[in-house]
């Protein structure tokens, strides 16, 4: 996700773009406000997503959660969610979720994502694994892709040997999901599935971070990629960020159903439509359904979880995961 100040910050950036070529002020290496500021002395300042919401039983939904390691070697953790009413031998769809935050901020444990996963697990009657992956700049891309893949294999292969997954996950009904940078991660996991032997039914992408345009409104988000993945030789032509650059990769997306949710006022919207067109032109043998929410901005459902459109989207995702739409 991006912070509520996203549009203000974008506007300020455009306003000051002629000044942007000046050397950065004292000690600042680069400034991606409102995400992050990095100083030449190595200090990293994060502006959002630093809070930790403990796992437990959610009072509003009865959903239970706990934190589990998906890699002991790397000390990597995910949060698992189980609906409160899951009967002992009840098999549920399994959702593997990747949070957003521009690859630099947020976590699976922040109040924003904890609340969203509780709501979604309850609404969809699904067991969910919310993946915490390592962030740039301390861990530049492609590390987040590798962590995401480890978590996916851990959750599906059963090698993780988690008691909730063992009892309740229906491995014939596995879904991926993600928002913003997490939507990007989910898509790039889907391109790896083909040939891996893993079986995934579908994926939903909420305002995924793809960039295929060079409009001024996207300047900050282009800079996010450059700094999150400083060694990327292809830069913004990399299919990781601009999937339509590689139709072969799109064709390999290893699942059959995609739900794409967009906000009308999100500067990423055109690139997300480009993604849908790219998929359809690639020869990929699946179906992508797109919904553009009128008047809404980037990840509006996370920023205003109580709003009517957020509730509408939650219902759509729940139906999608239960193959009811
Ligand atoms: C790094 O620089 C910033 C800005 O000048 C300063 O606030 C911070 O204390 C410095 N950190 C260290 C470890 O020197
Ligand atoms: C593992 O990560 C947790 C935070 O997620 C941290 O508190 C702990 O110290 C880490 N353990 C090791 C051995 O690095
Ligand atoms: C799974 O857990 C059981 C019981 O806790 C244990 O005996 C078994 O070795 C574990 N398997 C793996 C692959 O970790």
Tell me the CATH number at 279. Answer: 3.40.50.1820
Active site residues: 180, 266, 298
Report the pocket of ligand 3 as residue ranges, CB < 6 Å: 159, 161
User: CA distances (Å), 188 to each of 91, 159, 194, 238, 253, in order?
Assistant: 27, 22, 11, 12, 8
In this predicted structure, which of 24-28, 59-63, 169-173 has the lowest mean pLDDT?
24-28
- 261 within some domain: yes
Structural domains counted in the chain: 1
126 belongs to a structural domain: yes
pLDDT of residue 10: 36
Q: How confident is the model at residue 15 (pLDDT cuts 50, 70, 90)?
A: very low
Q: Does 38 have pLDDT greater than 90?
A: yes
- Residue 60 in contact with residue 120, Cβ under 8 Å? no
CA-nearest residue, atom 8 of ligand 1: 43
Q: What are phi and psi of 290, to 5 degrees?
A: -115, 140
Domain range holding 182?
A: 50-321
Do residues 63 and 126 touch, judged by C-beta distance below 8 A?
no
Average pLDDT for 26-42: 93
Q: What is the pLDDT of residue 21?
A: 45
In the chain, pLDDT over 90 holds for what percent of residues? 87
For 257-292, the pLDDT digits (tens) are 999 999 999 999 999 999 999 999 999 999 999 999
CA of 73 to the centre of ligand 3 (A): 17
Which ligand is closest in space to the CA of residue 75?
A: 2
18 belongs to a structural domain: no
| Beta-bridge partners for 69 | 77
Which pLDDT does position 26 carry in this prediction?
A: 79
Residue nearest to atom 3 of ligand 2 (CA): 75
CA-wise closest residue to 321 among 94, 85, 131: 94
Mean pLDDT of 186-202: 93
Q: Which two tokens stand for residue 303?
A: 């920023």
Q: Are 105 and 32 in contact (CB under 8 A)?
A: no
Whether the model clears a pTM of 0.75, i.e. scores above it, the answer is: yes
- Domain membership flag for residue 146: yes
Cβ of residue 75 lying under 6 Å from some atom of ligand 2: yes
Asked whether residue 2 is assigned to any structural domain, the reply reads no
**Per the domain annotation, does 33 fall within a domain?**
no
72 CB near ligand 2 (under 6 Å)? no
- Residue 305: burial class (beta carbons within 10 Å; 0-12, 13-18, 19+): middle
**CA 29 to ligand 1 center in whole angstroms:** 12
**What b/e readout covers 200-223, taking b as 16+ CB neighbours within 10 angstroms?**
bbbbbbbbbbbbbbeeebbbbbbb
Give the model's confidence band at 146: pLDDT under 50 very low, under 70 low, under 90 confident, else very high. very high
- Ligand found nearest the CA of 154: 3
Does any domain span residue 61? yes
pLDDT class of 324 with cuts at 50, 70, 90: confident
Span from the CA of 27 to the centroid of ligand 1 (angstroms):
8
Those residues with Cβ within 8 angstroms of residue 185's Cβ, 6 or more apart along the chain or in another chain:
98, 133, 144, 145, 148, 178
Whether 41 is in a domain gets the answer no
């Amino acid at each position: 996700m991006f912070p509520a100040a996203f549009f203000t910050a974008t506007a300020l950036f455009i306003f000051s773009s002629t000044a942007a070529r000046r050397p950065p002020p004292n000690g600042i290496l680069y400034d991606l406000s409102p995400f992050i500021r990095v100083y030449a002395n190595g200090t990293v300042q994060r502006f959002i997503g630093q809070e930790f919401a403990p796992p437990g039983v959610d009072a509003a939904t009865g959903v239970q959660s706990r934190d589990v390691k998906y890699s002991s070697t790397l000390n990597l953790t995910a949060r698992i969610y189980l609906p409160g009413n899951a009967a002992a031998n009840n098999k549920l769809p399994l959702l593997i979720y990747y949070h957003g935050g521009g690859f630099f901020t947020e976590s699976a444990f922040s109040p924003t994502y904890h609340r969203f996963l509780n709501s979604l697990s309850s609404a969809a009657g699904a067991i969910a694994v919310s993946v915490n992956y390592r962030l740039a700049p301390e861990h530049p891309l492609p590390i987040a892709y590798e962590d995401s893949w480890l978590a996916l294999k851990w959750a599906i292969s059963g090698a993780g040997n988690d008691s909730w997954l063992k009892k309740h996950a229906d491995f014939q009904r596995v879904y991926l999901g993600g928002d913003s940078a997490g939507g990007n991660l989910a898509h790039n996991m889907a391109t790896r599935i083909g040939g891996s032997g893993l079986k995934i039914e579908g994926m939903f992408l909420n305002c995924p971070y793809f960039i295929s345009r060079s409009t001024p409104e996207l300047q900050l988000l282009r800079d996010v990629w450059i700094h999150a993945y400083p060694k990327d030789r292809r830069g913004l032509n990399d299919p990781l960020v601009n999937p339509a650059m590689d139709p072969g990769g799109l064709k390999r997306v290893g699942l059959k159903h995609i739900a794409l949710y967009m906000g009308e006022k999100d500067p990423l919207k055109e690139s997300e439509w480009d993604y849908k067109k790219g998929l359809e032109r690639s020869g990929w043998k699946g179906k992508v359904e797109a919904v553009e929410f009128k008047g809404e901005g980037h990840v509006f459902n996370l920023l205003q979880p109580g709003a009517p459109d957020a509730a509408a989207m939650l219902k759509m995702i729940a139906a999608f995961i239960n193959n009811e739409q």
